[in-house]
Amino acid sequence: VGQGVLSAEVFPRVDGQLHVEGVPLAAIAREVGTPAYVYSAAHLRARAAALQAALHGVPHGIHYSMKANGCRAVLRTLHAAGCGIDVVSGGELYKALAAGVPASDIVFGGVGKTRSEIAEALRAGVRVLNGESRAEIALAAAIAAEQGLVLDIGLRVNPEVEVTAAHAYIETGEEGHKFGIPQGEVPAAVAEALALPALRLRAIVMHVGSQMSTLTAVRAGAERLVAMVLAAREAGARDLDLLDLGGGLAVRYDDEPEADLAALRDIAQRAHAATGCTILIEPGRYLVANAGLLLTRVLYRKTSGDSEIVIVDAGMTELVRPALYEAYHRIEAVGPVAGTITGDLVGPVCESGDFLALARALPDLRPGDLVAVHSVGAYGSAMASTYNARPRAAEVLVDGERWALATARESYADLVRLDRETLDWRTA
Ligand code: LLP
């Protein structure tokens, strides 16, 4: 499972037919139609276990960053496997609680929390709320004081390290980025938090980027966090017992290396030894990306100029990553297909950016063939849209020989459910 998409255990081919664990994808397509996201429970559990093993012996907590995939069946599976949840909005908090995750297993981050989101987090009693600016921390204190509560607060800091992620859009921990408290302001933020009786300063937090394999930036950031924890203790922070390294662990999409878990262990161990803190991490992609694939069906084939074009029934509405980050997702035919072509695999959406693969070696697909787009468990359904009035796709969870519908496909009626049939005009 460490090998991600290459794992023949999770995605075996039996008699030429691609399966997820013990279930043929063709059977799922027959029952729920296409496009559909299909997730492997065994892979989710194995990835949680891999992180737990890597951090074994270091007091730690793993909070799954549910922005990667907020399907409640996925949340329940990972929570049952020992993960807490990292949420970044009132909606995510609502979904995590609705999945049965207790608030004490939830950390709440996010760069722009509203007054009502902060109040919801307080009311629920989350483990820690991570403030990303001094103004936000002051507001959180005021809300806690109004409610007569004491809030466990973390300071999300920007350690301002050099980050190398797969795409500039997923680098977050460099100077000038919008996330976190700039490192120069941290002493002032600590002093302010300590002066507010409605706050208990519990954590120093960072998240420097995503899809990082070497963890050099995490190591550099962790060293800065350790110094901040020690300085905050000097300044009187007696309840500061959590050091959160964020997420960002890379997975294999193609042939790139996965995140170095031995390095993660070493970083966590050193940070714990230096501070005594429990080490938290917030992985999203690492836990879910290679647990899921997007099942889609070929509609048409055509040639345009020199390009061979395969049109499928999924596109940027189901998987925006290729359009947004020029991301690579491995493509495989579900049934046996003889021969390969070089071509584009594209969706039906009216955008030139609507492609799943460009100028790639593809199986010689024909209309009606089923196709698996791999590594879609993270930031697939979570970033889906209904552009072109396309109902959102179904989500299926496979567990051994069994499978279940986890999220029903949206209907046309859902597309007009919230807009008003007639307008109830008012005047100010
Ligand atoms: N913690 C915080 C504060 C974050 O902002 C993120 C991701 C994570 C944890 C989880 O990061 P992960 O372990 O999944 O790398 N849509 C992009 C990724 C955006 C990541 C945003 N923040 C993509 O599809 O690559």
Closest residue by Cα to atom 16, ligand 1, is 379
d(CA 180, CA 178): 7
Using the mean position of ligand 1's atoms as its centre, give its distance from the Cα of residue 247 in Å. 7
Decide: 247 in ligand 1 pocket, CB within 6 A. Answer: yes
Ligand 1 centroid to residue 66 C-alpha, Å: 9
Question: What is the DSSP secondary structure assignment for residue 409, as one 8-state letter?
Answer: P
246 lines ligand 1 (CB under 6 A): yes
Give me ligand 1 centre to Cα 304, in Å.
37
Distance of CA 423 from the midpoint of ligand 1 (Å): 39
Tokens describing residue 57: 């012996």
For atom 23 of ligand 1, the residue with the nearest CA is 379
CB under 8 Å to 259, separation ≥6 — which residues? 212, 213, 215, 248, 249, 250, 251, 286
| pLDDT score for 4 | 46
Q: What angle do CA 261, 212, 207 make, to 5 degrees?
A: 95
Question: Closest ligand 1 atom, CA of 167?
Answer: 25
Q: Residue-wise over 187-216: b if at least 16 C-beta within 10 A, else e? A: eebbebbbebebbbbbbbbbbbbbbbbebb
* Shortest-distance atom of ligand 1 to CA 321: 24
Q: What is the pLDDT of residues 4-51, one digit of tens each?
A: 445 778 999 999 999 999 999 999 999 999 999 999 999 999 999 999
Neighbours of 5 (CB within 10 A): 20
Answer yes or no: is the C-beta of 64 below 6 A from any ligand 1 atom.
no
Report helix angle 41-54 to 261-275, nearest 10.
Answer: 50
Q: What is the pLDDT of residues 310-336, one digit of tens each?
A: 999 999 999 999 999 999 999 999 999
Give counts: helices (H), strands (E), the chain: 12, 21
Report the pLDDT value the prediction gives residue 178, as an integer from 0 to 100. Answer: 87
DSSP code at position 188: H
The pLDDT value recorded for residue 172 is 76
Which ligand 1 atom is nearest residue 382's CA? 16
Range 96-102, long-range pairs (CB < 8 A, 24+ positions): 96/66, 97/124, 98/72, 99/72, 99/75, 100/76, 101/75
Which residues are registered as beta bridge partners of 201?
153
Place of tokens 């949840």: 85
- The confidence score (pLDDT) of residue 176 equals 84
Which pLDDT score, from 0 to 100, does residue 245 have?
A: 98
Cβ–ligand 1 distance for 407 under 6 Å, the answer: no
Give start and end residues of each alpha helix (H) in 299-387: 321-325
Residue nearest to atom 8 of ligand 1 (CA): 247
H/E stretch holding 309 reads strand 307-312
Most informative mutation of 69, 179, 207 for ligand 1 (most atoms within 8 A of CB): 207
Does residue 120 contact residue 92 with C-beta atoms inside 8 Å?
no
CA distance 349 to 354: 6
The reply to whether ligand 1 has any atom less than 6 angstroms from the CB of 180 is no
| SS3 call for 413 | helix
Residue-wise pLDDT tens digits, 326-376: 999 999 999 999 999 999 999 999 999 999 999 999 999 999 999 999 999
Give the sheet arrangement for strand 17-20, strand by strand.
13-14, 17-20, 23-24
CB 36 less than 6 A from any atom of ligand 1: no
Three-class SS of residue 423? coil
Position in ligand 1 atom list of the atom nearest CA 110: 3
Per-10-residue mean pLDDT of the chain, 428 residues long, equals: 62 97 98 98 97 98 98 98 98 98 97 96 97 96 96 96 78 82 96 97 97 96 98 98 98 96 98 98 98 98 95 98 97 96 98 96 98 98 98 98 98 97 95
Whether 207 is in the pocket of ligand 1, judged by its Cβ within 6 Å, is yes
| Residues annotated as part of the active site | 350
CB 370 within 8 A of CB 34: yes
Name the residue at shortest CA distance from atom 24 of ligand 1: 379
CA of 73 to the centre of ligand 1 (A): 20
Report how far ligand 1's centroid is from the alpha carbon of 343 (Å).
Answer: 30
Nearest to 71 by CA among 398, 315, 323: 398
- What separation in Å is there between the alpha carbon of 207 and the centre of ligand 1? 8
pTM for this model (two decimals): 0.96
CA atoms 170, 171, 173, 177: torsion sign: negative
231 lines ligand 1 (CB under 6 A): no
Give which of 216, 121, 117, 101 is closest to 165, Cα–Cα: 216
Residue 143 three-state SS? helix
